[in-house]
Structure 1
Amino acid sequence: MSKFDNIRPFYDVEVNEALCKVAEHPMMKAMMSFSFPELDEKVWVEQLKRTHSIRDFQCNFIYHALMKVLENSSDGLTTSGFEKLDKHTPYLYISNHRDIILDTSLLNACLFDNGLVMTASAIGDNLIKKSFLNILAKLNRNFLVQRGLSPRELLQSSKLMSEYIGQLILRENRSVWIAQREGRTKDGNDSTHPGVLKMLSMASEEKVLMDHFKKLKIVPVSISYEYDPTDALKMPQLVAKANDEIYVKDENEDFMTLLKGIMGQKKRIHIHVGDVLDKELDEIKIEFDNSNKQIQALAQAIDDSILNSYKLWPTNYIAYDILNNTTKYSHLYTEKEKSLFERRLEIRIDENNPVEMQGFLAMYANPVVNKSKYENAI
């Protein structure tokens, strides 16, 4: 038994058995009927049962499902930066995090379109408690981040995950995707949590910490949605935080958020992959001799890349102007775009609740504030 068995995705030799087990599950039927409406059910069931690798499952089924999602719930996906990456090199993609499933799925679709190495991707085990979702995650090359652990268990889990990520990138030639912090960003402030980087460093065999990160080939990724389909769903948590209350999720909340993120309207989406962090690591190595300070500086370098290349939409500028009672960015959106956004606000938010109102607007406005700190970024 491999020490990674509790967190790893399926090996290819396990794929067919798993697919045969879930081929006729109601959720698989719903997903396949949505993805292939022109096909008789027997056709895709037989094709699933003849599939023997994760790559074949992703390319022949999941990719088509994603294209249908984009067709039905967006005005299209645009990309930038992928042409700079080497087709045979595995990278560690560290990304801002907006949507539970789509962030990593869309990145993988872009990697596939560009002939690049696709990723194994981190996912919280709290999101896939349902048996079908657990199997589907492992079929999509997701590895599990264990949540709700004691401090001692967390330390052991972090070390194991660090080793596994190193194993994937350095020995199996597999790219990895991980979010810059635990959970999705609720308030539009994208920042890299140093704890994520400390976890990644735990398996280092290098005397110099930054040399380990150089080997991992970090590529910061920024993803932005014109409309966040789960924007209103994030409000209760923000309200609880503002009132200094502990927020307790409903039993099916993560699952409903997952579905809403996939099927809800997003309008335009943009993914940018930055340059591999290289000279930045050399500079950090020279400037700081303390590992904690090096981690902080690396987190800042990732933030700089993500925020500087973050694609701002009219919704971001509109929210900023409404929130600050200004017309500073009015030249960057139309009256029609503004009225549509105000209508969304009216439908989704209790306008008599100032905390909800502030939280909703700030979620869209904060990327403008953060990007404006960079010269000529806006």
Structure 2
Amino acid sequence: MSKFDKIRPYYDAEVNDAIRSSINHPMMKALMDFAYPNVEEAVWKEQLLRTHSIRDFQINFAYHAIKKILEKSSDGLTTSGFEKLDPNTSYFFISNHRDIILDTSLLNVCLHEHGLVMTASAIGDNLVKKDFLLKLSKLNRNFLVQRNLSPRELLVSSKLLSEYMYSLISKENRSVWIAQREGRTKDGNDATHSGVLKMMAMASDEKNSMDFFKKVRIVPVSISYEYDPTDALKMPQLMAEANDQIYLKEKNEDFITLLSGIIGQKKRIHIHVGDILEDELDAISAETTNSNKQMLALAQVIDDSILQSYKLWPTNYIAYDMMNNTTIYSEKYTEEEKQLFKRRLELRINAGDAKMKESFLAMYANPVTNKLKYQKIESNS
């Protein structure tokens, strides 16, 4: 047994057995009917049964399913920055996190289309409690982040996770994706938690953590959706937090959010990959040798990259103007786009609830506010 067996995806030798045990599951049929609406069941089953590697499963099935999702629930995906990456090099992608499944799935679509190494991707084990979802995630090269642990268990789990990610990058030349924080950003404020970086650094044998991070080649990734298909679903938690209440999830809440993110309308999507962090790490090392200060500085560097390259859509500018009762960004959207956004707001939340309306608008407006900070810095420099 490998020490990573609890968290790793399938080895290629395990793929066919996993497929055979799942092939008659109703969700597999639903997935295949969605991805291949004009293909007979017997045909896709035969093709699945001939699949013996994760790469084959991803390219022949998962890739087409994601392309179909884009076709049915978006107005297209655009990209920037991928041309800077080397096809034979593995990277440590850290991104903002808006959607449970699509953030990493769309990144892999982009990597594949640019001829680059697809990632192994982190997913919370709370999201794959159903046996079929667990198998599907392991077929898609997801590795598990264990949740709801005691402090002692968390320490052990974090060390295992960091060692696994480092072994993927350094020994298998496999890129890794992880979100900048635990859980999705719900209020539009994308911020890297230094705890994520500290966890990754547990695998380091370097005296200076920045030397370790140079070895894993950090690439910040910025993902933006014109419409968040789960915006209304995020409201109960945001409202509870606004009222200083403890938020308890409903029984199938994660699953409902997962499905809504996949099939809900997103309009346009943009993914930008930033520069590999190198000089920034040297600058941090030169500034301080204190580990905590280094992690905070690195988190800020990642935030700077993600926020500056974040693609703002008309919905962001509309929400900012509505929230601040201004028209300063009116040239960024049409009256029709504004009316569509207002209609969405009215349909998805109780617009008569001032707090809820403000939270909904802030979710879309905060990326504008965050980007403004950088524009002011640039104009003053």
2:316 alignment partner in structure 1 = 316
Provide the identity percentage. 72
CA distance in 2, matches of 1:351, 1:61: 41
Q: Which residue of 2 aligns with 1:291?
A: 291
Alignment of 1:150-229 (within 5 A): 150-229=150-229
Q: Which residue of 2 aligns with 1:136?
A: 136
Quote how far apart the aligned CAs of 1:353 are: 1.2
Q: Is 1:259–2:259 an aligned residue pair?
A: yes
How far does the alpha carbon of each residue in 1:299-355 deviate from its partner, in whole angstroms, 9 at most, with x for none? 000000000000000000000000000001011000000000000001011012112
Q: Which sits farther off after the overlay, 346-355 or 334-343? A: 346-355
TM-score under structure 1 length normalisation: 0.99
Cα deviation, residue 209, structure 1: 1.1
Residue in structure 2 matched with residue 23 of structure 1 by the alignment: 23
May I ask how many residue pairs the two structures share in their alignment? 378
The separation in 1 between residues aligned to 2:98 and 2:375, in whole angstroms, is 25
What is the alpha-carbon distance in structure 1 between the residues aligned to residue 230 and residue 61 of structure 2?
Answer: 25
User: Partner of 1:245 in structure 2?
Assistant: 245
3-state SS of 2:79 partner: strand
**Contact 2:319–2:364, Cα closer than 8 Å, also in 1:** yes
Task: Tell me the CA shift for residue 84 of structure 1.
Answer: 0.3
Note the alpha carbon deviations across 1:49-96, whole angstroms, 9 max, x for none.
110000000000000001110000000000000000000000000000
Paired AA for residue 120 in structure 2? A
- Aligned equivalents of 1:253 and 1:46: distance in 2? 34
1:149 aligns with 2:142: no
Which range moves more in the overlay, 346-355 or 270-279? 346-355
Taking the TM superposition and a 5 Å limit, the aligned residue runs for 1:47-66 are 47-66=47-66
Separation in 1, partners of 2:214, 2:257: 35
Partner of 1:41: 41
Equivalent residues of 2:208, 2:289 under 8 A apart: no
**Which moves more between the two structures, 68-77 or 348-357?**
348-357
Per the alignment, residue 236 of structure 2 pairs with 236
Find the aligned partners of 1:170 and 1:30 in 2 and give their Cα distance: 38
2:331 alignment counterpart: 331
Secondary structure of 2:69's aligned partner: helix
For 2:259 and 2:117, the matched residues in 1 are separated by: 27
> Which residue identity does 2:70 align to in structure 1?
L
- State the partner residue of 2:79: 79
Q: Displacement of 1:207 after TM fit?
A: 1.5
* Structure 1 gaps, min length 5: none
What displacement does 1:374 show?
1.0
Structure 2: distance between partners of 1:287 and 1:375: 25
**Secondary structure of 1:52's aligned partner:** coil
User: Unpaired runs of 5+ in structure 2?
Assistant: none
Counterpart for residue 351 of structure 1: 351
In the aligned structure 1, how far is the partner of 2:167 from the partner of 2:23?
Answer: 31
Aligned-partner SS, 1:192: coil
Between the aligned partners of 1:288 and 1:312, the Cα distance in structure 2 is 34
Structure 1: 4+ residue segments shifted above 4 A: none
Aligned to 1:10: 10
Residue in 2 aligned with 1:273?
273
Q: In 1, are the aligned partners of 2:73 and 2:264 still within 8 Å (CA)?
A: yes
- Residues in 2 aligned to 1:28 and 1:355: alpha-carbon distance in whole angstroms: 41
How far apart, CA to CA, are the structure 2 residues paired with 1:304 and 1:167?
Answer: 28
In the alignment, the residues of structure 1 paired with residue 33 and residue 186 of structure 2 have an alpha-carbon distance, to the nearest angstrom, of: 32
TM (normalized to structure 2)?
A: 0.98
Deviations, residues 271-321 of structure 1 (Å, cap 9, x unaligned): 000000000000000011101000000000000000000000000000000
Mapped partners of 1:338, 1:375: distance in 2: 24
Question: What secondary structure, in the 3-state scheme, does the structure 2 residue paired with 1:296 have?
Answer: helix
2:178 match: secondary structure: strand
Q: For residue 326 of structure 2, what is the amino acid of its counterpart?
A: T
**Deviation string, structure 1 residues 219-274 (Cα, Å, up to 9, x no partner):** 00000000000000000000100111111111100000000000000000000000
Shift of 1:375: 2.4
Alpha-carbon distance, 1:34 to partner? 0.6
CA distance in 2, matches of 1:93, 1:49: 32
Which amino acid is the alignment partner of residue 58 of structure 2? Q
Q: What is residue 110 of structure 1 aligned with on the other side?
A: 110
Letter in 2 for 1:178: I
SS in 1 for 2:289: coil
- Spell out, residue by residue over 1:96-129, the C-alpha distance to the aligned partner (whole angstroms, 9 max, x if none): 0000000000000000000100000000000000
SS at match of 1:147: coil
Q: Which amino acid aligns with 1:121?
A: S
